[in-house]
Structure 1
């Protein structure tokens, strides 16, 4: 049993009705009771975010939310199993930040961050306590430095190349399942075996920690230790493997807490 948090996401060329998938995804919250979050963007780019520090199955807001049609070309959902950081709204995913070019970034993570000097500077500036939030601040900082050095904002492929390099730099010691969105490009990374799957449809691609049971979805494992960047359904960048691959912890149910994010 994979004891980490769980992720679910959509990147598409047109709005996708996500209610059934989300309902199924959030049933997994019995095993991931420390918070849930959902961020999606409608077709004109307007963002909606809801997150709570309660289990999705105890939430009063979530059933109400899922009673409305959720149709979005871009979506990131998360359920949390806490190890680092208390059970608090500021520690629920997804996290957001703005870079100096005015671009907003959204990140959700599962895995474990064991070490890395790169992330230490953000202990004082983050709003919550999670190492996942520090990953976002680290990436935003790298983006700001690159924008400053270039003298102009980076284009989509340049941003993907930079993210690829910066994720590879911290992947050696750390478990990084990531879904990141920058308002234009949707990035996917996994380096933990059998913990991220994708299903391609005619107008969108779904990603999920576990294959979901919806009919007509053919789930495949996302290739290991590489960054993928999508615009809608179209792959615009595919990185080379950085080689740092982990097996998920197989822990007894009662001992999950020591090992998760």
Structure 2
């Protein structure tokens, strides 16, 4: 599995302290790190297939202020895919209307045949990248049928249905950004938390400090954020994920196939 982080606000803020707390978890998630500072004209994406705490590149980045309104971070514990740069999050892809989409994922897709065709199309070999390619194809289909770009609300409604379906039998903690809207989804208990304060929204796999106001993200819903506010909230779906012994066996076999050792990666 992995850990994910998002900062969403109405004004650019410095987030170095939050990022440092987040990346301190990399001893348990050593297979890569990523950082995305999404800006209208010049998004900055950095990622490496090395442990965050050992990365000189990340150290250099954090030695200067990291300032943004929409900042995302990821640390990877590989279960699907090799430990290579193309498998590090975030994943970035453009749709047919040149809108850039970014996705980071904490979870595993155990079964969803619609993703299989993207194995030959993706740059790496992760289920997470396939999710993004699938979403973009669905957005393109909708916009081609409409004959015009989608509205923010139309995209939210479309992703609500896609994510609810993808969540059936799969762990799907997602953070997605489409240039306007930040999408947040969790379907496993106690695996994603948020803190809403004067600075904006912080969302992370585990609370980043001792603030008592951290709360679990409500399960089985898609949330849409802009400028530190929830502007869309979906209905609740029924596809909560529960970890079983069968999933553990699957992880062990997958790690063995990918030479990832005994689970201490």
Per the normalisation by structure 2, the TM-score is 0.90
> Structure 1 residues 116 and 189 mapped into 2: Cα distance closer, same or farther (>3 Å)?
same
> 3-state SS of the aligned residue for 2:237?
coil
Instruction: Give, in angstroms, the shift of residue 45 of structure 1.
Output: 4.4
Whether 2:139 is the aligned partner of 1:118: answer no
Aligned partners of 1:193 and 1:248 also within 8 Å: no
Whether 2:11 is the aligned partner of 1:26: answer no
Question: Higher relative contact order by CA 8 Å / sep ≥ 6: 1 or 2?
Answer: 1
> 3-state SS of the aligned residue for 1:54?
coil
Aligned partners of 2:169 and 2:241 also within 8 Å: no
Could you tell me which residue of structure 2 aligns to residue 146 of structure 1? 142
Whether 2:133 is the aligned partner of 1:133: answer no
Whether 2:76 is the aligned partner of 1:80: answer yes
Could you tell me which residue of structure 1 aligns to residue 259 of structure 2? none
Whether 2:187 is the aligned partner of 1:187: answer no
Distance in 2 (CA, whole Å) between partners of 1:142 and 1:49 is 24
Whether 2:186 is the aligned partner of 1:228: answer no
Q: Identify unmatched segments of 5+ residues in structure 1.
A: none
Aligned partners of 2:173 and 2:187 also within 8 Å: yes
RMSD: 2.0
Whether 2:174 is the aligned partner of 1:178: answer yes
Aligned partners of 2:184 and 2:224 also within 8 Å: yes
- Residue in structure 1 matching 2:236, options 211, 217, 241: 241
Could you tell me which residue of structure 1 aligns to residue 260 of structure 2? none
- Residue in structure 1 matching 2:105, options 97, 106, 109: 109
> 3-state SS of the aligned residue for 1:207?
strand
> 3-state SS of the aligned residue for 1:111?
strand
Count of matched residue positions in the alignment of Structure 1 and Structure 2: 253
List 4+ stretches of structure 1 deviating above 4 A: 248-251, 255-261
Whether 2:203 is the aligned partner of 1:197: answer no
Q: Identify unmatched segments of 5+ residues in structure 2.
A: 257-262
> Structure 1 residues 34 and 51 mapped into 2: Cα distance closer, same or farther (>3 Å)?
same
Instruction: Give, in angstroms, the shift of residue 41 of structure 1.
Output: 2.5
Instruction: Give, in angstroms, the shift of residue 248 of structure 1.
Output: 4.9
Distance in 1 (CA, whole Å) between partners of 2:6 and 2:56 is 22
> 3-state SS of the aligned residue for 2:241?
coil
Whether 2:13 is the aligned partner of 1:16: answer yes
Q: Deviations over 1:116-137 (max 9, x none)?
A: 1111110110010000000000
Could you tell me which residue of structure 2 aligns to residue 54 of structure 1? 50
The 10-residue stretch of structure 1 (195-204 or 135-144) with the greater mean CA deviation from structure 2:
195-204
Could you tell me which residue of structure 2 aligns to residue 39 of structure 1? 36
Distance in 2 (CA, whole Å) between partners of 1:150 and 1:203 is 38
Q: Deviations over 1:181-227 (max 9, x none)?
A: 01110000000110000110124101000001165x72111000110
> 3-state SS of the aligned residue for 1:178?
strand
Instruction: Give, in angstroms, the shift of residue 170 of structure 1.
Output: 1.4
